[in-house]
Amino acid sequence: MNTKKLTITALLISFAIMIPSVVFLKVIIPPFSATLGSHVPMFLSMFLGPEVAALVGIGSCIGFFISLGPVVAARAFMHILIGIIGAKLLQKKISFRKVIIITAPIHGLLECLIVLPFVGVNIYNLLIITGIGTILHHSIDGVISSAILKVLEKSKINILNQQKETD
């Protein structure tokens, strides 16, 4: 891993750890919670490859464990899997927009599976609150990530080609 990729990875991990603690725009409807922007480091890390996406996902788990506890941290563990899936899709030249669309229902389903032991077979809490809530949160953070990527492209800070440069 070159110095630039390592530095960007470290920054994304630090954002993934900090966002759960510092962002005040949160929606909490147990067992669901949404912290605006918490998926952004994961989405950006996808452009750096599956390994980086996994590391940033681990950072997200740590951040949510510190700020909201083990159940939310278990849900954040899904960021590792979604990040890896997204990174592999980007490596196959699938557009970022399509990656967000493809990974949203997977993300929702995985978080439903995580909260299942805590809510039982309460369909409303499981599928509507957690599943649909996660898909909406994922999509909103995808839009935020797209906007950040456009700004980065215009400012010549190009993380989009990191995968090509380091392979």
Q: Over its length of 167 residues, how does the chain's per-residue pLDDT go in tens digits?
A: 789 899 999 999 999 999 999 998 889 888 888 999 999 999 999 999 999 999 999 999 999 999 999 989 999 999 999 999 999 999 999 999 999 999 999 999 999 999 888 777 788 888 889 999 999 999 999 999 999 999 888 887 666 654 434 33
Distance of alpha carbon 50 from alpha carbon 35, whole angstroms = 23
The pLDDT of residue 98 is: 98
Cα separations in angstroms, 20 against 61, 107, 142: 10, 18, 17
Which domains are seen in the chain, by residue range? 3-25+32-158 (1.10.1760.20)
Look at residues 25, 20, 29 and name the one whose alpha carbon lies nearest to residue 126.
Answer: 29
